[in-house]
Amino acid sequence: MTDLDAILAVQGGVVSQAQALSLGLRPHDVRRLVRRRELAPLLPGVYLSHTGDPTWVQRAWGAVLACASSRALAGADLGAALGGSSAMRAADGPGRTDGHDGPIEVVVPRARRVVAPAGVRVTRTFGLDERVHWNLGPPRLRYDEAALDVALGTAGDFAAVGVVARAVQGRHTTAVRMQRALASRTRAPRRSFLEGVLADVAHGTCSVLEHAFLTGIEQPHGLPRASRQVRAGTATGIVFRDAAYGERLVELDGRMWHDTAEQRDRDFERDLDAAVEGHATVRLTWGQVVGRPCSTAAKLSLLLQRDGWPPGRACGVGCALAVVA
């Protein structure tokens, strides 16, 4: 096996011209390999070891090598790494197919200026050396760092929650590690919200979800004020009901963070105990509370009206409660 074969094997069949020259080849040698179809251009200054369509991993390697420092040679730190959703996908493994045709996200040091080739999105960032797994192929941001970048860049709170949930549920990182990473980002958008979400995850509570229910559903839609954290003795022990409107109970389901058979069993046991006591239970999820608050408020208002409570009100133009009122 030649030195070129060895680096192609390590890098998924992808090599940069700078790396090839560092192995002793000359520019005319690289051109000859291309003419003989032993190498095929992938991106400017980057080659693939076959002429077929590149895999996602080969595209990722190509993006990193195309954005690498001019001083990066074979076996050296490249000065560029996968970032954001691309770093997360690389860590998730080859089973994922979503985002195959999207741009590859690459991060480089803030001091560098890189012209992104077609199909590559480049972000300049701080502290890259400490935040990257340089020993992985391709090099990539640590999962907690990449997940935070994606969460902070989402268009809404529920989308941000979904990114954090995926990161924690996939066991690539923990809420505590993500809290530590977030602590260094003093000017990050949505920082306070994510701090609360991560604190919930770390401590197994649903306080952020409870606050979102109060400020996104109950108050703006004029629903009656619920009794909160109501202590109740049941056949299986003491429980605290999240919200109670007389005999109507609302449980805020944080199973996004601990979706196990044991947790589901405990939740359903709470609901059964409530039914034995004559209470009807509505169990709401993150998607219903944070992602669809108006729709959820409209349906809850109908249920409460059946129980004798006054109707809620629309929170604004286009609110679902205006339709059902």
Instruction: Indicate the burial class of 9 (C-beta count within 10 angstroms; 0-12, 13-18, 19 or more).
Output: exposed
Task: Check residues 256 and 112 and name the one with the higher pLDDT.
Answer: 112
Task: Check residues 183 and 278 and name the one with the higher pLDDT.
Answer: 183
Q: Cα dist. 135→13, 77, 104 in Å?
A: 17, 9, 19
Residue range 264-293: mean pLDDT, rounded: 75
DSSP code at position 318: T
pLDDT tens column, 231-274: 776 666 676 777 888 888 888 876 654 455 566 666 667 666 66
48 pLDDT higher than 70: yes
Residue range 145-151: mean pLDDT, rounded: 92
pLDDT tens column, 58-81: 999 999 999 988 666 555 667 899
Percentage of the chain exceeding pLDDT 90:
45
DSSP code at position 217: I
- pTM summary value: 0.73
Q: What is the pLDDT of residue 199?
A: 83
CB 122 within 8 Å of CB 108: yes
Q: What is the pLDDT of residue 277?
A: 64
Give the other-Cβ count within 10 Å of 45's Cβ: 18
How many CA atoms, within 13 angstroms, populate the side-chain half-sphere of residue 149? Answer: 22
Q: What is the pLDDT of residue 71?
A: 67
Percentage of the chain exceeding pLDDT 70:
84
275 pLDDT higher than 70: no
Which of 8-17, 186-195, 250-259 is least confident?
250-259
DSSP code at position 289: I
Which of 6-10, 87-91, 178-182, 283-287 is least confident?
283-287
DSSP code at position 257: S
36 pLDDT higher than 90: yes
Handedness of CA 51, 105, 178, 254 (dihedral sign): negative
Kindly report the backbone phi and psi dihedral angles of residue 277, in degrees, each rounded to the nearest multiple of 5, phi listed first: -85, 0
Q: What is the pLDDT of residue 258?
A: 47
**Highest-confidence segment of 13-17, 157-161, 199-203:** 13-17
Task: Check residues 90 and 171 and name the one with the higher pLDDT.
Answer: 90
Residue range 122-144: mean pLDDT, rounded: 91
What is the CA angle 27-114-148, rounded to 5?
130
Max CA pair span of the chain: 85
Strand-pairing partners, residue 251, are 283
